[in-house]
Amino acid sequence: MEPVGLNAFLMVGAIMFVCGIVCMAIKRNAIGVLMGVELVLNGANLNFVAFARYTPFGLDGQIFALFVIVLAAAEAAVALAIALNFYNNHLTIDVDRGNELQG
């Protein structure tokens, strides 16, 4: 069989991305939505590092991947703080119950 090329890594990245998007769309638990966000960011990271390896993009791809990892960690911290506040105020973590735009 042909050696593993760029397309194979891009397909794995695409599958992770789509799984993350579906997870963000259909999960009712807010933490489940955050897990979808992590999957999306990792799919994009896999794309970056694959392009860094196979094209003249070079080291820049790995640097962008590092930036994405750092920013994803920061965003996960803030999103979890928001989810905890939501739970403390409404005593539920179900995002379908967050449908009132007041206090």
Partner 1 sequence: MNADLLFYLFAALTCGGALGVVITQNIVRMAFWLILSLGSVSALFFLLGADFIGAAQLLIYVGGTVVLLVFGVMLTASGPYLQIKTSAADGLLGACVGGLLLFVLISTVCGLEWSELPGHQNSIGAVAEGIEGSTLRPLGLAFLGLRPDRATPGDETSGKLATGYLLPFEIISVHLLVVLIGAAYLARAKRRTVSDDHGLS
Q: Enumerate residues 22-41 that contact partner 1 by CB under 8 A.
A: 22-23, 25-32, 34-36, 38-39
Q: Is 3 helix (H, G, I), strand (E, B) or coil?
A: coil
**Chosen residue from 1, 100, 101, 102 binding partner 1 by CB under 8 A:** 1
| # binding residues, partner 1 (CB under 8 A) | 72
Are 73 and 45 in contact by the 8 Å Cβ rule? The answer is no
Q: Does 53 bind partner 1 (CB under 8 A)?
A: yes
Q: Does 101 bind partner 1 (CB under 8 A)?
A: no
Q: Does 21 bind partner 1 (CB under 8 A)?
A: yes
Q: Does 66 bind partner 1 (CB under 8 A)?
A: yes
Q: Is 55 helix (H, G, I), strand (E, B) or coil?
A: coil
**Chosen residue from 44, 82, 99, 102 binding partner 1 by CB under 8 A:** 82
Q: Does 15 bind partner 1 (CB under 8 A)?
A: yes
Would you list the DSSP string of 41-92? HHHHHHHHHHHHHHSTTTHHHHHHHHHHHHHHHHHHHHHHHHHHHHHHHHS-
